[in-house]
Structure 1
Amino acid sequence: MISYPHNAGSAMTRVIQGGLDGPVVVLLHGLSARADRWKHNLDALGQAGVRAMAIDLPGHGFASKHEDFDYSAHGYSRWLDQFVQTLGVEKLVLVGTSFGGFVAAHYAADHPERVAGLMAVGAIGLVPAGEARRMKTVQWLGEMQKEQIRSRMYRGVLDPQLISEELVEEDYRINNSAGAAEAFAALARYYRERLDDDAVAARLADAASRFPVSIVWGRDDPSVSPDYGARAHQIIAGSTLTFVDDCGHFPYWERPAEFNALLTNFVKRCI
C-alpha cells in the first residue's frame, strides 16, 4: 500500500492505495472514520489487478475540514465527482460503508454513466432511517471524548479484541483536530433536518439497470439494522443482498478474508 495527499477541487484528501495500475475502485468510509479502515482490503484488491483507492472524506481523517463545505450527501457527491475527474478514468467501481455507502449511492445515482458497479456495506440512507435512528447519530456526533469513542467502537463489533487502545487514541486525536467539531456539527444538522429526505434507493433503482449493485450487511449489525438492507434490496431491482455471518457493522474489518473474496469477485464482475 502507498499513501499520499491528493487535491480534489474544493478539498484536499488523503489516498491510501493498493495496486498501481488497472481499473479504479474507490472506497469510502463511514462517519468519524477515515481511509485506513480499509487497510485489510486494499492489498487484496491490488493483487486482483485493480487500483484500489481509499480516501478520507472532507471533514474526516486527514482531509480538509472547512466550515463552508456542504456536508450533505449531495455536497459529498459533488466533491467526489471532482475527485473522480482528477483520475482521468471513464468508469470506476464504488464501495462505501455506512455514511460512505450513502455518498457512493448518491454519486452512482447522479452519475450512472461513470459507475461500473456499486457495493454498499451496512449503508445508512438507502431507505429512510427514521427519527429515533437519526437522533442517535446526532447525539454521538457531538461526543468525541475517549470513553465515548471507545464505547461506540465496542458496540459496533462482536469481537472486542479488534478495539485496541492505540486505535481509540488515534480516533480521539483525529476527531478532535482543527475543524473536526465544526464538520461534525454540520453533519449532525444534516442528520437532524434532511437525511431522510435524501434517501436514495428509489433514485438508485432507476440507475442500477446500467451497473451491478451489491448490498452487503453484517448479519448482527447493531448500528444500522440489516432490515434496512433488505428493504433497499426490494426497491433496487436486480441488486444482490449478502449477509456476512458473525460480524456487526464492519464486515470488511471483522471478517476481512470472507469480505475480500466477496469484494474481489464483485469487482471482477464489474470490470
Structure 2
Amino acid sequence: MGHVVDQHALIRGNRIAYGVHGEGPPVVLVHGTPSSSYIWRNVVPHLVSTGYKAYVFDLLGYGLSERPWDPSIDTSMTGQVSVLEDLLSDWGLDKFHLVAHDIGGGIAQRFGVGSVGSLLSLTMIDTVSYDSYPSKRTRQQMEEGLETLIKKPDAEHRSHFREWLLSTLSDAANFDPDALKTYLDFISGPIGQGSLFQHQVTHYDPKHTMEIADRLDVLGRVPVQIVWGAEDAWQVVDWAHKLQGAIPGSALHIIEKCGHFAPEERPAEVAELLTSFFARLPSL
C-alpha cells in the first residue's frame, strides 16, 4: 500500500490531505515528525481487514497537505488540535478510537484532556510528553539558527536527514529504501527543506505538552494503552513508564527490536496491539 490519503478538505483556509478506509468503528490515526500519514500505510490494511474504519490525514505543513507560506499560521501541536477538531466535524465523528505517534501523541494529549468524552480509547505510540523533546542533537541543530539550516545545500541537507531518519529504526539496514526516499523527499527540496524548519522544527517546544502535563490523569477516564519500541533512541522507554504512571489504568506494551518509528518498523505488531485492544472494549 502506498499513500493512504487521496482526498482533500479545506480547513480554516488551508488544504488538508486525508483518507478514509474500510467500514466499522472509527479509528483516527495521527502521525508525527518528520513523517506523514504514510507511516500508517501498513497498519491501515490490518484495521480494515478486521472491521474498522480508518481515518488518516497529513498534519498542516506535512506530507501532502498544504505548506503555508504565512508564518502566522500555527502548525505547532497546539495549532494542529484545531485542525483535528475541524476534520472530526467534517467527518461527522463524535466518538472514535484515537491512535497517535510521536508529536501526534502530544496533539492527542492536548485534544484528550479537553475532549475526553469524544474518545472510545486512546493509543499513544513512542510519543512525546512532558519535556522529553527536542533531543540534545536537535537542540544543537536549532542553535545554528533556522535560517542557516534552511539555506544549507540540498545534498548536505539530504545526507544529514537521511542519517536522522535511519536512526528511527532499531536496525537501519531494515529501512525500506522506497519508504526512506518518500520520507526524505517530503522534507527536502525547494519546498520541503524550508517547510521542515518552518512547520516542524521551529515548534519542537515542550511548552505544548508541559501546559497539560498536570492534567494527564483526565485521560484515565477512557481506556488508554501506550506502545513503545524497546530501542527507541528518540524517546527512550523511561518516558513510556512516566506517561503510564500519570494516566490511571493505562497499559504499557514494549515491542522488542523496535525503534522510534514503530508503525514503520513493526506494523503487524502495532496493528495487532490496536485490534486486540479495541476488541476488549465495549462496542459502539
What TM-score comes out, normalization by structure 2 length?
Answer: 0.84
Distance (whole Å) between structure 2 residues aligned to residue 31 and residue 146 of structure 1 = 16
Quote how far apart the aligned CAs of 1:88 are.
Answer: 0.8
Distance (whole Å) between structure 1 residues aligned to residue 141 and residue 187 of structure 2 = 15
- AA matched with 1:35: S
- AA matched with 2:130: V
Quote how far apart the aligned CAs of 1:160 are.
Answer: 2.3
Quote how far apart the aligned CAs of 1:111 are.
Answer: 1.1
Where 1:111 maps in the other structure, the secondary structure is: helix
Match of 1:156 in 2: 168
Choose from 227, 236, 240 the match for 2:238. 227
Quote how far apart the aligned CAs of 1:136 are.
Answer: 5.5
* Residues 242-261 of structure 1 aligned to structure 2 (within 5 Å): 242-261=253-272
Q: Conserved in 2, the CA contact under 8 Å of 1:26 and 1:54? A: yes
Is 1:189–2:193 an aligned residue pair?
A: no
Quote how far apart the aligned CAs of 1:190 are.
Answer: 2.9
Distance (whole Å) between structure 1 residues aligned to residue 57 and residue 82 of structure 2 = 15
Q: Conserved in 1, the CA contact under 8 Å of 2:116 and 2:219? A: yes
Q: Conserved in 1, the CA contact under 8 Å of 2:20 and 2:56? A: yes
Quote how far apart the aligned CAs of 1:101 are.
Answer: 1.3
* Residues 63-102 of structure 1 aligned to structure 2 (within 5 Å): 63-66=65-68, 67=70, 68-102=72-106
Distance change >3 Å, CA 5–CA 33, structure 1 → 2: same
Query: Which shows bigger deviation, 154-163 or 228-237?
Result: 154-163
Quote how far apart the aligned CAs of 1:3 are.
Answer: 3.7
Deviation per CA, 1:42-63, whole angstroms, max 9, x where unpaired? 0110112111122111110011
Distance change >3 Å, CA 56–CA 170, structure 1 → 2: same
Deviation per CA, 1:70-122, whole angstroms, max 9, x where unpaired? 12222111110000001112201111111111112211112112111110000
Give the root-mean-square deviation of aligned CA atoms: 2.6
Q: Unaligned 5+ residue runs, structure 2?
A: none
Q: Conserved in 1, the CA contact under 8 Å of 2:135 and 2:234? A: no
Q: Conserved in 2, the CA contact under 8 Å of 1:146 and 1:168? A: no
Quote how far apart the aligned CAs of 1:65 are.
Answer: 1.4
Distance change >3 Å, CA 132–CA 146, structure 1 → 2: closer
Quote how far apart the aligned CAs of 1:196 are.
Answer: 5.3
Where 2:204 maps in the other structure, the secondary structure is: helix
Q: Conserved in 1, the CA contact under 8 Å of 2:244 and 2:250? A: yes
- AA matched with 2:106: F
Choose from 41, 44, 48 the match for 1:42. 44
Deviation per CA, 1:122-155, whole angstroms, max 9, x where unpaired? 001x222267546257479847722112101221
Distance change >3 Å, CA 268–CA 136, structure 1 → 2: farther
Quote how far apart the aligned CAs of 1:163 are.
Answer: 2.4
- AA matched with 1:107: F
Distance (whole Å) between structure 1 residues aligned to residue 193 and residue 103 of structure 2 = 16
Distance change >3 Å, CA 139–CA 39, structure 1 → 2: farther
- AA matched with 2:112: A
Quote how far apart the aligned CAs of 1:8 are.
Answer: 4.6
Q: Percent sequence identity over matched residues? A: 24
What TM-score comes out, normalization by structure 1 length?
Answer: 0.87
Quote how far apart the aligned CAs of 1:172 are.
Answer: 3.2
Distance (whole Å) between structure 2 residues aligned to residue 192 and residue 101 of structure 1 = 14
Match of 2:183 in 1: 171
* Residues 116-135 of structure 1 aligned to structure 2 (within 5 Å): 116-124=120-128, 126-129=129-132, 133=136, 135=139
